[in-house]
Structure 1
Amino acid sequence: MPEQPLVIDCAEWIKLMPSPPVLTSFQSSWNNIQLIHYRQPLACLSEISNSQHLIIIPLKNKAVNYDIVLEGRSQVVSFQEKDYRGGCIAIFPATLPYGFHSHSHYQVMEWMQCYLEPVFLAQIAHESVNPDRVELLPIMKKADPLIHHIGLALKAGLEADRVGSRFYADSMATALSAHLLRHYSTCSHHFQDYEDGLSKQKLRQAIEYIQAHLSEDISLSDIANELGMSQYYFCHLFKRSTGVSPHQYLIHQRVEQAKRLLKQTERTVTAIALDCGFANQSHFAKYFRQYTGMNPNQFRKL
């Protein structure tokens, strides 16, 4: 009987690498997606498979060739500098056996790995017109600027705020899942489009829930569950109704609440930041400046 490939998750993948990663999302309470940023020599891996869907996003590398063994078949994949600028990515579906060996004269390479939970992808698929089959296609190299942008956005969010980025990660995981189902599934998934957005009652319910939980580390699923909707359709319909994403709306309301507290109380900036749901003072200051053009202390003196 042939030996079965080693099945690993994102945390176990790290143990196979020669050096620790630059950045991970493991301490950030992300639920459905994880991000790992590597900058190191790329090790050669014997045949393994992942318990999650794996999207690889190469970064800032010189030309390199890979020998990829996929389901027992070997092929050579070549990445050139133009491929990195063009946003090329690779996709390894969960449970698919693979191995690789890199050929490069450069000692250090840089890439990101996004891990998406299959159960979450299946939940998003159930909102599509044809939800019966959820199976991703293996992709060894393809330009996909949207996935590349999502990876970079997750990385930037994680670097700026390792603690309070869960809501943003939920939003990105939802967008990524819908994109994968539309373009990289063995059975193309189509999502219904509702031009009218949320009903007035649902929109009011969502806004009231957000206002009541501004100080808490709420998740996208918390709000969607409150409304009895999926994350995908809540995001889609909320933006149709308001013109902004749920994450943008949440941050704006937290800033507005902070503006009131800065003017009406003598509490410290740090205390106000925590009361308004920001992870820390620097997280608060970043978004406050983004929305007002000044820091909290400057605003308080006006």
Structure 2
Amino acid sequence: MGQSVDVSEVSPSKVDKFGCRSDWLDKDLAYFAANVSVFRKATCETAIKQIATPGRDRGFVVGVAMLPGHSRRIFHEHSSTTHFFKRDSIYIRNLADPYKADLIGPFDFILLEFTVEALARIAEDADLGRVTSLATRVGSSDRILANLVRALAPAIKKPAQATNLFMDQLTTAIGAHIAQRYGGTRSTLSMRPKGLSRSHERLAKELLLENLDGNIAIMDVARACNLSRGYFIQSFRENTGMTPYQWLLKERVARARMLLLTSDEPLSHVAISCGFADQSHFTRVFTSAVGITPGAVRRNL
């Protein structure tokens, strides 16, 4: 299962892999998922801070600005360039290249670090060409990517409410978008899935229901069906009209509704037995799906 770490509590004065000193930062969180490492780093300080990192073959970092007002001067071999970030501005850089920059003004970024192997695997699973490099971007606009990355923010803050299934699908979707838009790839329409066989659909649903809390990796379900992860997700959607995570969430809500109508179990017990992190998480998801709170369902009965 992915896990969240408050890095500032672990190493109060160390320089992180991106060149930031943790005592600069007001927010320093990390979440480690199957495909990607996700970080959130923020500071309210206005003083200029310089970072410098050597080139290391770690893959790529993709950043999305949560707030406007930040700028940075990036130093090149014989020159420097200054870039301004609006809310949802992105940057992409290859971590194999050395990097030196002045950070000017407050910032709040969500960063995603993909290894070359992970990005290549995501691209191949999505029927895209093999991706081994990405185009560099600094302060660019990509609303689709920004919205996808923003959806990670609650998981970084409250990992107990983020299942492996959800994080796996979301980071895969982010990786596929990055590979297609910035890796110069093209979708292979001839490889479009035609759906799962009846036996594979039944097996996939059984595995998902056996892990009602969602803490099963998509890759494990895909392997059981002898399919790649990306092909499995697309095939499952062909059959059901939903991603595996959406389908499982619907089943969790349906099971919770049945328990509300047929038992006197406390709401907190219903929440846990149906795979929700706690009663608050259960109430929020159930109300969004059904239109009324779990308590109202029971009172109406």
Q: Which TM bucket (shorter chain)?
A: 0.7 to 0.9
Gap change, CA 1:18 and 1:266, over 3 Å in 2: same
Match 1:43 to one of 28, 41, 49: 49
Deviations along 1:154-177, one digit per CA (max 9) or x if unpaired, are 113444x42131322111111111
Match 1:33 to one of 29, 36, 40: 36
What SS does the corresponding residue of 2:160 show, helix, strand or coil? coil
Root-mean-square deviation (Å): 2.7
Aligned partner of 1:97 in structure 2 is 98
Which blocks of at least 5 consecutive residues in structure 2 are unaligned?
Answer: 1-14
In the alignment, residue 247 of structure 1 is paired with which amino acid? Y
Aligned partner of 2:68 in structure 1 is 61
In the alignment, residue 38 of structure 2 is paired with which amino acid? L
Gap change, CA 1:257 and 1:117, over 3 Å in 2: farther
Deviations along 1:242-282, one digit per CA (max 9) or x if unpaired, are 22222111111111111122222222222221221112222
TM-score with structure 1 length normalisation?
0.81
Gap change, CA 1:259 and 1:55, over 3 Å in 2: same
Task: Count matched residues.
Answer: 279
What SS does the corresponding residue of 1:163 show, helix, strand or coil? helix
In the alignment, residue 37 of structure 2 is paired with which amino acid? Q
Whole-angstrom distance in 1 between the partners of 2:238 and 2:214: 25
Whole-angstrom distance in 1 between the partners of 2:167 and 2:67: 24
Gap change, CA 1:297 and 1:49, over 3 Å in 2: farther
Gap change, CA 1:300 and 1:118, over 3 Å in 2: farther
Whether contact under 8 Å (2:196, 2:235) holds in the other structure is: yes
Cα distance, 1:57 vs. partner? Answer: 0.8
Match 1:77 to one of 69, 82, 89: 82
Whole-angstrom distance in 2 between the partners of 1:53 and 1:235: 25
Gap change, CA 1:236 and 1:281, over 3 Å in 2: same
* 1:201-212 correspondence to structure 2 within 5 Å: 201-212=199-210
Aligned partner of 2:146 in structure 1 is 148
Percent identical pairs in the alignment equals 22
Gap change, CA 1:216 and 1:151, over 3 Å in 2: closer
Gap change, CA 1:69 and 1:154, over 3 Å in 2: same
Whether contact under 8 Å (1:174, 1:231) holds in the other structure is: no
